[in-house]
Amino acid sequence: MSRIGKLPITVPAGVTLSVKDNVVTVKGPKGELSQSIDPSIKMEIEGNECKVIRENDDKQTRAYHGLYRSLINNMVIGVSEGYKKTLELVGVGFRASNQGQVLELSLGFTHPVYMVLPKEIKIETKSERNQSPLIMLESIDKQLLGQVCAKIRSFRKPEPYKGKGVKFQGEYIRRKAGKSASK
């Protein structure tokens, strides 16, 4: 039995969960999300709890059991609380600004990098004197938010010698020693 799959999903007040034709729809105060699930996975909704049940013990069905439970739980948390991620730009002259859904990054290249963000993501940039610029992203969809953060980070990953690049706030970068002077 999947340890994650057998855990019940607690549905908070103000959130409705419905299943129709193998599509789970979650509506809450922050928005609405839907996810199609495999026909071998069933859902039981009782009051403010939801259980994910598998029909058989095939290897693939066991894998889907924990996966769909996690996806549905992330959707419930997303529509009730939402998800936030903060990226930090470390480096001399690195800047970030946004005009609506267009993010402009200055990352030490000869040209600025522009990225158009999906409408489901709210963006805010903050630049203060003597501090690294910050990019704050907020969304109800955890999967989409992670993909966008990974894409922004891929423009200039943190390097291990000086730690320059785009990193998550609070992320630890393993540092390497540089060249040592020989006698």
Tokens of 48: 């403010």
Instruction: Measure the CA–CA gap between 119 and 122, rounded to whole angstroms.
Output: 7
CATH of domain 9-80: 3.90.930.12
**Ranges of each domain in the chain:** 9-80, 83-168
H-type helices in the chain, by residue range? 59-80, 142-154
* DSSP β-bridge partners for residue 9: 50
Residue pair 81/91 in contact by the 8 Å Cβ criterion: no
Fold match, 9-80 / 83-168: yes
Backbone CA torsion sign across 82, 75, 30, 10: negative
Instruction: Measure the CA–CA gap between 75 and 97, rounded to whole angstroms.
Output: 29
Task: Give the model confidence (pLDDT) of 161-178 as tens digits.
Answer: 998 999 999 999 999 988
pLDDT at 183: 61
Task: Give the model confidence (pLDDT) of 110-137 as tens digits.
Answer: 999 999 999 999 999 999 888 999 999 9
Other CB atoms within 10 A of residue 84 CB: 11
Banded pLDDT at 53 (limits 50, 70, 90): very high
Question: The tokens 């992330």 sit on which residue?
Answer: 74
Residue pair 134/87 in contact by the 8 Å Cβ criterion: yes
Q: What is the CATH topology of the domain spanning 83-168?
A: Outer Surface Protein A; domain 3 (3.90.930)
Q: Is the pLDDT of residue 10 over 80?
A: yes
Residue pair 112/104 in contact by the 8 Å Cβ criterion: yes
Backbone CA torsion sign across 56, 61, 62, 67: negative
Q: Is the pLDDT of residue 1 over 80?
A: no
